[in-house]
Every structure is written in C-alpha cells, then in structure tokens.
Amino acid sequence: MPTIIVHKGEDIGRALKRLSKIASKEGIIRSVKERRFYVKPSEVKRKAKIRAMKQNKKRKH
C-alpha cells in the first residue's frame, strides 16, 4: 500500500496528485478497474488469445 507524508504547509491537492501518481506507477488503479467485475477464466483466456493474435499480426506487417 503506497503511503505519502504530507509536509507542513503542503497543499492537499499536491499531496493527492503525488498519491495518484504512485498508485498509477504501481498499477493499483489498473488492477482495481480490471477487478471491478468478475470475468470468467474462459473469457480471460479468450481475450488473451485474441490479443496475442493481434500482436502477431502487427509484427508480421
């Protein structure tokens, strides 16, 4: 869990911006969005397969 220390006289908005930057670097925001809804394992595999096929197609051209 990322933590930040708000220094004396520091603007709260700036501290929140630092916190959101740290959270995005660690991938917390992305993982929360991905886990917002349950996705069946078969659906995860299918999407990964489609993504891999698209990447292979890009590499060939």
Give this prediction's pTM. Answer: 0.56
Q: What pLDDT does 44 receive?
A: 95
User: How many angstroms separate the CA atoms of 4 and 17, rounded?
Assistant: 11
Tell me if 4 sits within 8 A of 19, measured CB to CB. Answer: yes
CA 28 to chain centre: 5
Mean pLDDT in the chain?
A: 93
Percent of residues, the chain, with pLDDT higher than 70 = 100
Task: Using pLDDT thresholds of 50, 70 and 90, give the confidence band for residue 21.
Answer: very high
Question: Can you list the alpha helix ranges (DSSP code H) found in 1-61?
Answer: 12-26, 28-34, 41-60
